[in-house]
Amino acid sequence: MKKFILKRLLISVVLLFFVSMIIYTIMRCMPTSYVEQQAMALSTKPGAKSYSEWVKQLNAQYGLDTGVIQGYFKWASKAITLDFGDSWYWNQPVLQKFGSVIWYSFALGLVTFILEIIRLFWHECG
């Protein structure tokens, strides 16, 4: 049993590695990026830097100025330490935002669990 569990855990880790690498690569190879959209918006402001300067600065800021493989391992090493960076949408650390909304998921899961228990007893006794 111990051997089976260890084997499954190892398979899960390897699978997680490959899936995360594929998703990271797809995100990096998309025809347009958040950086380009943000650079376009920032460069249209009066007295702002040019579009190409903003793209260069934002790529460096978000670690997108390296290759895909190097960028993946840089991202993965931060993710292992739970440093997911800042949310582009909320402009705050991802972990902080996650911590503030995860309780909704727990509450919904608890309600679902209670309803399933009630349904189970209703089905078995009725």
pLDDT digits (tens, 9 = 90+) for 10-65: 999 999 999 999 999 999 998 888 889 889 988 898 888 999 999 999 999 888 88
pTM of the model as a whole: 0.70
Task: Please list the residues that pair with 86 across neighbouring strands.
Answer: 93
Contact 43, 50 (CB under 8 A): yes
DSSP annotation of 36: H
24: Cα separation from own chain's centroid: 10
Q: Identify the pLDDT of residue 63.
A: 84
User: Domain limits of the chain?
Assistant: 85-126
pLDDT attached to residue 126 = 66
Query: What φ, ψ does residue 107 adopt, rounded to 5°?
Result: -65, -45
